[in-house]
Amino acid sequence: MRHIRTILRAAEPAGPGIRLLTLMDPDGWPLPRFRPGAHIDLHLPNGLVRAYSLCGDPAEADRWRVAVKREDAGRGGSAWLHDGLAVGGELSVSLPRCTFPLAAGARRHLFLAGGIGVTPFLSMAAALDRAGGDYLLHVLHRGAVPMPAQLAPLLARGQAVLHDTGAGRPDLAALLGPPETGVQAYACGPAGLLADFEAIWPVEQAQVEHFVPPPLAPAPDARPFTLVLARSGRSMDLPAGTPLLPALRALGAAVEASCEGGICGACRVRWLEGPPIHRDRVLKPAERATDCMACVAGCAGPRLVLDL
């Protein structure tokens, strides 16, 4: 598990309760490149790990930017990033992961953002601007606009539209228009917005990114099984439906974890024997033939052998 040591070089307000952080290498060296729509995990001193979308331009090789919305009802991660992390402070960060990529080959991209869910679309917009791509960003907000300085040039060019939902949310079908061949639609925001989006847009032309893990689907095929780590030979018998992460940690396996709900991609592991039960929102069907997300995976057979 590789982490990057970064320094907070700048912090600025970026809308209601939002703090925009600029992270850089302590000596100014380039940071690992990231794909538009990628996110990183911030490892906080209190042991919390929090994932945030990279909202800067992917072409900026020496800095990563994330926007943190303060959540007073949360577990303290966003509050510490607002109040406890000062400019010049150090922060351990994961390598970037992209579970919300731009669709290759799409001729047009429609972005639907709910509040702070605008952040992944800012990096996508920067990349598409450079490549001459066609896109339109709809930002649903209530009251003050999130990331106003970053949205200003998009609004001026007509490539972003604001929708204040104080008087009610606009009809999503009317907002996005009918699905067309070559048009890919994306949504990031609260669970209700994502559910409504998925209900109107064809799954093969839709991508979503969740703020928080959605409730896990039932696993009626789950069976008691033996978890086996192929490299170490260690094993453990587990009842049906037992989560894998605690068992993997008990067996001494070093598995990265962040959301622990199947949406961030941190705990991806290769499976060798199963079959596993997949309940994540990250892996494509072809990827599930070889990999699983340990935080939400189960097993439908007598043995689950992982490449650990």
Q: Is the model more confident about 254 or about 122?
A: 122
- Please state the φ and ψ torsions of residue 286, each to the nearest 5 degrees: -65, -35
Residue 82 near residue 14, CB atoms below 8 Å:
no
Give dist(CA 138, CA 266) in Å, integer: 29
Instruction: Pick 108-210's CATH classification: 3.40.1010.10, 3.40.50.80, 3.40.50.1100, 3.40.640.10.
Output: 3.40.50.80
Binned at pLDDT 50, 70 and 90, residue 73 comes out as confident
Residues in the chain: 308
- The predicted pLDDT at position 221 comes to 87
Mean per-residue pLDDT for 93-122? 96
Mean per-residue pLDDT for 15-42? 96
Binned at pLDDT 50, 70 and 90, residue 40 comes out as very high
Residue 16 near residue 146, CB atoms below 8 Å:
yes
Is the omega angle on the peptide bond into residue 179 within 30 degrees of 0, that is, cis?
no
pLDDT, tens only, 272-288: 998 999 999 889 889 99
Binned at pLDDT 50, 70 and 90, residue 47 comes out as confident
- The predicted pLDDT at position 266 comes to 86
DSSP-derived letter for residue 204 is G
- The predicted pLDDT at position 260 comes to 86
- The predicted pLDDT at position 152 comes to 98
Q: Which two tokens stand for residue 184?
A: 């890919």
132 contact partners, CB below 8 Å, separation of at least 6: none
- Please state the φ and ψ torsions of residue 119, each to the nearest 5 degrees: -60, -50
- The predicted pLDDT at position 151 comes to 98
- How far from 239 is each of 186, 219, 300, 301, 305, CA to CA, in Å? 38, 13, 11, 12, 16
Residue 223 near residue 240, CB atoms below 8 Å:
yes
Binned at pLDDT 50, 70 and 90, residue 75 comes out as confident
Does domain 225-306 correspond to CATH entry 3.40.50.1450? no
pTM: 0.86
Helix/strand number for the chain, H first, E second: 7, 18
- The predicted pLDDT at position 167 comes to 85
Domain ranges (residues) in the chain: 3-94, 108-210, 225-306
Pure H helices in 203-243: none
Domain 3-94: give its CATH architecture.
Beta Barrel (2.40)
pLDDT, tens only, 243-272: 899 999 999 998 888 888 888 888 999 999
251 contact partners, CB below 8 Å, separation of at least 6: 227, 229, 232, 234, 235, 236
pLDDT greater than 60 at residue 1:
no
